[in-house]
Structures are given as structure tokens and as C-alpha cells.
């Protein structure tokens, strides 16, 4: 196989049309094997619809999907046993115990081995820390426990890919931390993780790669470092003689210097020698109370791409 | 081969899900109440019915307790049995969709056609449980209140108790077969919605309409095509020799409904976007 074998998920021109609305408007994803791939976007940007198509729950209107080397939806049955997923929140039979729910889900896959079922279910429950609550009925579970049970369901078999749609939704800070640690440890085992989230901080903490969705399209995609480099670094200095400083900086080639009070802000190279600038200012008898280089945050870039505010885009 | 391809363990799991649910037991209990209430009412009422008065067989219950089950079945067939069965049939796909478990079953992956087959067999299992519950509860309560002995059939012949029990089992099987068309209809309606109650109501309305049409003499040409047409014909099992021609027609009719609505359910479900 060619380069595509290095990709866990690949889509080309993927479209999903609901009536007159394009929920997904021709996206091309490339998720490298072994990556922790963040699928970032505001609510309603088409993330879950994309995931539904990847997993064969929804039909593809246009475009192609390759999942672990299998064409979807044609070879869904070959691909899916290697994929664990949490889609739009956990869902279980409330009148059955957590353990029996996992038994049920495992029995649904015709390829799963009934002989090892009990031990695999117990291992999955143990992995998410639910062993003690395994025989409780799910209606007595908290949202966090249901979320963990959902993760346990995704871990019933050895997987090559985990598709996790908002896995920390509804968790308390402790639960969030535990889930993130779990994701890290799964990633360290070499499992590719496709993590959708509307939380930038989550993606920044966990992911090696990101795609940013907005209104059904991918507006940016690449490794985290690549996306970070998109923004502009800035030099920020607080000085006692603003006019003279501006003059000196302009002589050094800095443009678009913004002044507010005693603070100067100017776009700068990310590799700028800040100490050199400081020396230059001080040599010219300018008192410098603060000088630093600020790197662009992913958040600014994200807001640039997806727009600010709570308005529903469509 | 069967175990591998259809998934015996999925079938067992389906039955487990159904029978760990309290609702299933509540409905079976309610079904058992029908013969119990019937026998109690007959037992407590001072006036004995004249032969032929009231529903068929009712006058015989006091003479022979074994008739309780048959009489209760006649009373339950038009409404109560279809009601409980429509709950289960309407729940098949819509119930899973409503809970959200459908998407997890599908990505397991369960296989959509396989899930439909297992769900359908599950509803048949419930129907069997329901009809046997009714007949067994009838036999027990009848034996408690009334004398039990050899049964005088509609044809005037007399059969012994073991033979009578065997015929009761046949009645349960016959009525289960009678319900199979409606179960297929329920499966299809269930693929159309994510709201189980909607699907249940749809099934129940269909069975009501079918029974009404069956009672309009102007539509006699249509009657033998209605899935409720043979519902009460299980009485033929109480003839000697057993009159099985209606059973044959009924079986053919039910298979026709299974083929038709099974195909619709398959067409709909295998191409449907699961968005719940």
C-alpha cells in the first residue's frame, strides 16, 4: 500500500447533506497512525456528523472514507472491530448493571470471542476504575460513571483506533483529569486516538495533531506545532521614554508599533533576540521596566478561524 | 454455523435484555390476570349462565376448569394480547434508538440485517411467553375453582386431560403464529421512529383497523387478507378431528405479512441514517 497505510483515517471531499443544509461541506481529513488527533470545533460545526459517517452510522452524501485501510461503508465490518468509539455521549440500558451492559455490547459483535468475554469485560471495567460499581444498575450511575462505562465499552477489545466524541463532557475536574490520563496511557500504547472536542485546552494538552472545523469545513489542519506557527509573535516592552524607543525600534526594522501608555507592542520574529533589544534600549538611556516576547496562543488562532461568540453560525 | 452467522450469543443476550426488564414481567403478570379475573368472576357470580350465553365457552367454565384458558384467550385476543405485544414489537428498533444504544450496537458491529432478525425472533419469544402464560394461568386457576375432567369438545367428542393439555399448548402456538404478521408490521414501524410509544400506537391502531374492517360485510373480499382474520379461529383446535385448514391459510397469510413487512423493515433500516 502507498502512503494511505500510514493514515488511520483518511477522507476525501466528504460531504453530508441534510435537506438543504450541508452539515459537512467537503472535508479532507488525514489522521496519521499513532497520533492523538484533535478534532476541534464549536458545537454544531459538523464534528459528530463526520464521526457518524466514519463509523457507518450515517450515509456519505459525497466523497470517500478510508478507515484503517478499509473503504467505508463497503468494508465496515472489517474495520469496525478494530475501532472503539464513544459517540455523542454514552448510552446504556438503565435497568441492567454496568457489567451486563458490556456483556450485551460485546455479544453484539459476531467476531468477539464468548470464551474471553468475562475476562475482557472485567479488564475494561478495571481500566476505567468501575470495578466496584460493576454490578450496580446503570440508572444509579452518575454522568461521570456512565462516561467511563462508555470508555470501557470502547476498550472491550484490543483496538487500533479510538474515536472519542467529547469524552470529558459532564465530568468533574477530577474525572476529566483521569480521562485525560487514560487517553495519554492509551496513546502511549500506540493506539491512534481521534478526539473531538470544543475545548481548546483539552486539545492543547492531549493532542499531537489538530483539525479545526467551522460551519462544516476544515479551516486548519496539521501538527500542533504547525498550527502554533501560524500566529504572529509579539514584542512587548514597558519603557520610560516612549518616543525615543519607537524611533530606535523603527530603525531596527520594526513596524506597526502600537502604543498604550508606557507599553509598546510590535509584531516580531519568533526567534527574536530580546536581550539584544533590551541592551540597545538601555544603552540609549531608556529605562526598561519590562520586555518580553509573546508567542501566539492557539486560542487566538482558533477564535480567528471559527469566530467569536455564542451565535449559532447556521 | 447458525451460532456463528446469526449469533446465538446475540440472541441469548436479546432475551436477557428483554427478561431482565421489569416491564416484561409486569406485562406477563397482567396477561396471567385475565384468566384469574375471569374465573373469579364466574366463580363468585350466583347466576349460572345458560348454555350459549356470554362469550363462547364461558358457560362451560363452571363445568370444567380446563376451559378457563380457552375462554380467557378468546377475551384477550382482540385487544389485550395485541396491546402487550405491540409494546414489545414497537420497542424493537425504536427503543434502542431512543436509548441511544442502537448506535453502539451498530458500531460493535452487530450488522443491521442480523439485528433485525434477532429483534424479530425476540418478539416471537415474548409472544410465546405471553400465550403460554395465559393458558397455564388459566389451567391452574380453573383447576382451583372448578372441577377438572375429560373435556367435551365442540364436536361432542370427549378427550382426556393429557390430550386437553396438549391442545392448550397448541392453542398457545396457534395464537403465537397468528401474531407473527403483526409483529413484522411492528418491526417495520419501529424502524421509522426513535419514539417507542409512537411505534406501539401505530401497531395497535393497525390491529384495531384490521379487526374493524374484518367486521364489515361489505368488505368480505378483503377479509381473508387481514392479519387479524384468523385470530379467533384457534377454536378449531377444539374439534375432533382437529380442523387445521384455517391454520394452513393463517400460516400462509402470516408468512406473507412477514415477507412484506420484513422486506420493508430491511429496506428502511439498512439504508437509514442513525442520528439518535
CATH code of residue A179:
3.40.50.300
Q: Answer yes or no: do B100 and A83 touch at CB < 8 A.
A: no
Window 74-93 of A: residues touching B by CB (8 A cutoff) are: 76-77, 80-81, 83, 85, 87-93
Set of cell numbers at residue A152: 470501557
- On whether both A41 and A95 belong to a single domain, the answer is yes
- On whether both A19 and A120 belong to a single domain, the answer is yes
- On whether both A178 and A253 belong to a single domain, the answer is no
Residue A88 lies in a domain: yes
Q: Which of B4, B9, B275 sits opposite A107 (nearest CB)?
A: B9
CB atoms within 10 A of CB A131: 14
Between CA B170 and CA B166 the distance in angstroms is: 6
Query: Of the ranges A40-54, A208-222, B152-166, which one carries the lowest mean pLDDT score?
Result: B152-166
- On whether both A98 and A50 belong to a single domain, the answer is yes
Whether chain A has a CB inside 8 Å of the CB on B3: the answer is no
What is the pLDDT at residue B155?
78
Nearest-CA distance A107 → chain B (Å) = 5
Residues in chain A: 314
The share of chain B scoring above pLDDT 90, in percent, equals 74
Q: Which of A91, A94, A95 sits opposite B104 (nearest CB)?
A: A91
User: pLDDT for A241-265, tens place per residue?
Assistant: 888 888 888 888 888 888 888 898 8
The pLDDT mean for chain A works out to: 89
What is the pLDDT at residue A261?
87
What is the pLDDT at residue A2?
44
Say if strands A209-214 and A192-197 run parallel, antiparallel, or are unpaired.
Answer: unpaired
Whether chain B has a CB inside 8 Å of the CB on A44: the answer is no
Between CA A269 and CA A253 the distance in angstroms is: 11
What's the domain range around A58? 3-228
CATH code of residue A244:
3.30.70.2470
Asked, as a colleague might, if the bond just before A73 is cis with ω within 30 of 0, I would say: yes
What is the pLDDT at residue A310?
46
Give B162: exposed, middle or buried? Use CB within 10 Å, 0-12, 13-18, 19+: exposed
Give B245: exposed, middle or buried? Use CB within 10 Å, 0-12, 13-18, 19+: exposed
Domain count, chain A: 2
Q: Answer yes or no: do B20 and A96 touch at CB < 8 A.
A: yes
What is the pLDDT at residue A302?
78
Q: Answer yes or no: do A92 and B101 touch at CB < 8 A.
A: yes
Whether chain B has a CB inside 8 Å of the CB on A153: the answer is yes
DSSP chain B: -HIIIIIHHHHHHHHHHHHTSHHHHHHHHHHHHHHHHHHHHHHH-SSPPPTT-SSTTHHHHTT-TTHHHHHHHHHHTTTHHHHHHHHHHHHHHHHHHHHTHHHHHHTTT--HHHHHHHHHHHHHHHHHHHHHHHHHHHHHHHHHHS---PEEPTTS-EE-HHHHHHHHHHHHHHHHHHHHHHHHHHHHHHTT-S-HHHHHHHHHHHHHHHHHHHT-GGGHHHHTTSTTTTTTGGGGGGSSS---HHHHHHHHHHHHHHHHHHHHHHHHHHT-----
What is the pLDDT at residue B3?
46
Nearest-CA distance A5 → chain B (Å) = 22
Stronger pLDDT, A94 or A311, i.e. the higher one: A94
Best mutation site among B107, B114, B117 for testing chain A: the one with the most A CBs within 10 Å? Answer: B107
pLDDT tier at A1, thresholds 50, 70, 90:
very low
What is the pLDDT at residue B149?
87
- On whether both A271 and A137 belong to a single domain, the answer is no
What is the pLDDT at residue A298?
77
Residue A238 lies in a domain: yes
Closest residue, chain B, to A108 (C-alpha): B110
Residue B21 scores a pLDDT above 50: yes
Chain B residues with CB inside 8 Å of A164's CB? none
Phi, psi for residue B42 in degrees, rounded to 5: -65, -40
What is the pLDDT at residue B151?
86
pLDDT tier at A313, thresholds 50, 70, 90:
low
Between CA A74 and CA A79 the distance in angstroms is: 10
Residue A310 lies in a domain: no
- Which candidate, B223, B246, B257, places its Cα nearest to that of B171? B246
Give A155's Cβ-side CA count (13 Å radius).
24
Residue A200 scores a pLDDT above 80: yes
What is the pLDDT at residue B5?
52
Q: Answer yes or no: do B21 and A95 touch at CB < 8 A.
A: yes
Nearest-CA distance B87 → chain A (Å) = 17
Phi, psi for residue B197 in degrees, rounded to 5: -60, -35
Residue A312 lies in a domain: no
- On whether both A244 and A284 belong to a single domain, the answer is yes
Residue A148 lies in a domain: yes
- Which candidate, A270, A290, A277, places its Cα nearest to that of A249? A277
Phi, psi for residue B120 in degrees, rounded to 5: -65, -45
Between CA A192 and CA A276 the distance in angstroms is: 44
Q: Answer yes or no: do A107 and B13 touch at CB < 8 A.
A: yes
Q: Which of B20, B99, B103 sits opposite A87 (nearest CB)?
A: B103
Best mutation site among B6, B104, B112 for testing chain A: the one with the most A CBs within 10 Å? Answer: B104
- On whether both A88 and A141 belong to a single domain, the answer is yes
Residue B57 scores a pLDDT above 80: no
Say if strands A217-223 and A62-67 run parallel, antiparallel, or are unpaired.
Answer: unpaired
- On whether both A247 and A221 belong to a single domain, the answer is no
- Judge whether B200 and B91 are in contact, CB under 8 Å: yes
CA–CA–CA angle A202, A207, A209 (5° rounding): 130
User: pLDDT for B92-145, tens place per residue?
Assistant: 999 999 999 999 999 999 999 999 999 999 999 999 999 999 999 999 999 999
CB atoms within 10 A of CB A268: 18
Residue A309 lies in a domain: no
Residue A313 lies in a domain: no
- On whether both A163 and A265 belong to a single domain, the answer is no
Residue A255 lies in a domain: yes
Say if strands A209-214 and A217-223 run parallel, antiparallel, or are unpaired.
Answer: antiparallel
Asked, as a colleague might, if the bond just before B241 is cis with ω within 30 of 0, I would say: yes
Mean pLDDT of B231-241: 86
Between CA A80 and CA A66 the distance in angstroms is: 12
pLDDT tier at A137, thresholds 50, 70, 90:
very high
What is the pLDDT at residue B1?
39
- On whether both A94 and A36 belong to a single domain, the answer is yes
Mean pLDDT of B6-15: 86
Set of cell numbers at residue B26: 409486569
Q: Which of B5, B114, B273 sits opposite A58 (nearest CB)?
A: B273
Whether chain A has a CB inside 8 Å of the CB on B1: the answer is no
Residue that is last in its domain, among A171, A206, A228: A228
Between CA A127 and CA A53 the distance in angstroms is: 28
Phi, psi for residue A265 in degrees, rounded to 5: -130, 130
Mean pLDDT of A49-61: 95
Residue B14 scores a pLDDT above 80: yes
- On whether both A134 and A19 belong to a single domain, the answer is yes
CA-atom Rg of chain B in angstroms: 20
Mean pLDDT of B195-217: 95
Nearest-CA distance B190 → chain A (Å) = 17
What is the pLDDT at residue B53?
66
User: pLDDT for A268-285, tens place per residue?
Assistant: 887 888 899 999 999 999
CB atoms within 10 A of CB A254: 17
pLDDT tier at B18, thresholds 50, 70, 90:
very high
pLDDT tier at A139, thresholds 50, 70, 90:
very high
- On whether both A55 and A172 belong to a single domain, the answer is yes
What is the pLDDT at residue B56?
67
Order of all β-strands in the sheet with A288-294: A258-260, A263-268, A233-239, A288-294
Residues in chain B: 276
Chain B residues with CB inside 8 Å of A87's CB? 103-104, 107
Amino acid at each position: 500500500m502507498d502512503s494511505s497505510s500510514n493514515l488511520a483515517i483518511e477522507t476525501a471531499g466528504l460531504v453530508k447533506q441534510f435537506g438543504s443544509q450541508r452539515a459537512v461541506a467537503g472535508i479532507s481529513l488525514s489522521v496519521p497512525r499513532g497520533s492523538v488527533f484533535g478534532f476541534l470545533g464549536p458545537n454544531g460545526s459538523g464534528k459528530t456528523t463526520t464521526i457518524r459517517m466514519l463509523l457507518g452510522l450515517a450515509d456519505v452524501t459525497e466523497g470517500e472514507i478510508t478507515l484503517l485501510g478499509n473503504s467505508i461503508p463497503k468494508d465496515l465490518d472489517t474495520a469496525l472491530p478494530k475501532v472503539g468509539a464513544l459517540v455523542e455521549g454514552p448510552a446504556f440500558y438503565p435497568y441492567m448493571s454496568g457489567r451486563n451492559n458490556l456483556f450485551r455490547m460485546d455479544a453484539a459483535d459476531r467476531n468477539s470471542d464468548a470464551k474471553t468475554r468475562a475476562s475482557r469485560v472485567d479488564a475494561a471495567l478495571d481500566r476505567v476504575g468501575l470495578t466496584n460499581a460493576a454490578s450496580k444498575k446503570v440508572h444509579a450511575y452518575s454522568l461521570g460513571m456512565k462516561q467511563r462505562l462508555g470508555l470501557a465499552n470502547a476498550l472491550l477489545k484490543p483496538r487500533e483506533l479510538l474515536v472519542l466524541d467529547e469524552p470529558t463532557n459532564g465530568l468533574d475536574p477530577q474525572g476529566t483529569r483521569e480521562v485525560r490520563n487514560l487517553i495519554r496511557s492509551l496513546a502511549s500504547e500506540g493506539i491512534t486516538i481521534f478526539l473531538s472536542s470544543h475545548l481548546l485546552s483539552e486539545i492543547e494538552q492531549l493532542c499531537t495533531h489538530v483539525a479545526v472545523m467551522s460551519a462544516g469545513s476544515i479551516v486548519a489542519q496539521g501538527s500542533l506545532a504547525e498550527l502554533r506557527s501560524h500566529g504572529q509573535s509579539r514584542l512587548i516592552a514597558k519603557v520610560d521614554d516612549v518616543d525615543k524607543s519607537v524611533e530606535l525600534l523603527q530603525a531596527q526594522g520594526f513596524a506597526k508599533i502600537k502604543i498604550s501608555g508606557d507599553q509598546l507592542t510590535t509584531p516580531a520574529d519568533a526567534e527574536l533576540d530580546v536581550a539584544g533589544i533590551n541592551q540597545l534600549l538601555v544603552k540609549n538611556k531608556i529605562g526598561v521596566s519590562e520586555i518580553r516576547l509573546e508567542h501566539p496562543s492557539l486560542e487566538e488562532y482558533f477564535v480567528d478561524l471559527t469566530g467569536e461568540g455564542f451565535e449559532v453560525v447556521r | 454455523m447458525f451460532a456463528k452467522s446469526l449469533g446465538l450469543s446475540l440472541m441469548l443476550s436479546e432475551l436477557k435484555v428483554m427478561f431482565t426488564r421489569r416491564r416484561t414481567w409486569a406485562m406477563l403478570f397482567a396477561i396471567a390476570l385475565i384468566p384469574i379475573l375471569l374465573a373469579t368472576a364466574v366463580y363468585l357470580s350466583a347466576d349460572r349462565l345458560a348454555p350459549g350465553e356470554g362469550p363462547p365457552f364461558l358457560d362451560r367454565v363452571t363445568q370444567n376448569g380446563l376451559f378457563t384458558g380457552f375462554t380467557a384467550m378468546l377475551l384477550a385476543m382482540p385487544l389485550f394480547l395485541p396491546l402487550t405485544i405491540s409494546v414489545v414489537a414497537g420497542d424493537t428498533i425504536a427503543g434502542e434508538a431512543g436509548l441511544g444504544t442502537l448506535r453502539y450496537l451498530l458500531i460493535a458491529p452487530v450488522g443491521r440485517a442480523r439485528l433485525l432478525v434477532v429483534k424479530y425472533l425476540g418478539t416471537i419469544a415474548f409472544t410465546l411467553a405471553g400465550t403460554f402464560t395465559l393458558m397455564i394461568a388459566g389451567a391452574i386457576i380453573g383447576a382451583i375453582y372448578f372441577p377438572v375432567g375429560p373435556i367435551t369438545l365442540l364436536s361432542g367428542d370427549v378427550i382426556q386431560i393429557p390430550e386437553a393439555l396438549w391442545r392448550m399448548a397448541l392453542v398457545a402456538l396457534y395464537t403465537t403464529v397468528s401474531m407473527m404478521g403483526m409483529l413484522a408490521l411492528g418491526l417495520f414501524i419501529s424502524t421509522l421512529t426513535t419514539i417507542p410509544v409512537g411505534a406501539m400506537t401505530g401497531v395497535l391502531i393497525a390491529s384495531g383497523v384490521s379487526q374493524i374492517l374484518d367486521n364489515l360485510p361489505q368488505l368480505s373480499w378483503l377479509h381473508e387478507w387481514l392479519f387479524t382474520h384468523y385470530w379467533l379461529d384457534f377454536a378449531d383446535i377444539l374439534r375432533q378431528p382437529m380442523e387445521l385448514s384455517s391454520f394452513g391459510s393463517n400460516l400462509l397469510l402470516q408468512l406473507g405479512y412477514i415477507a412484506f413487512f420484513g422486506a420493508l423493515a430491511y429496506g428502511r433500516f439498512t439504508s437509514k441514517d442513525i442520528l439518535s
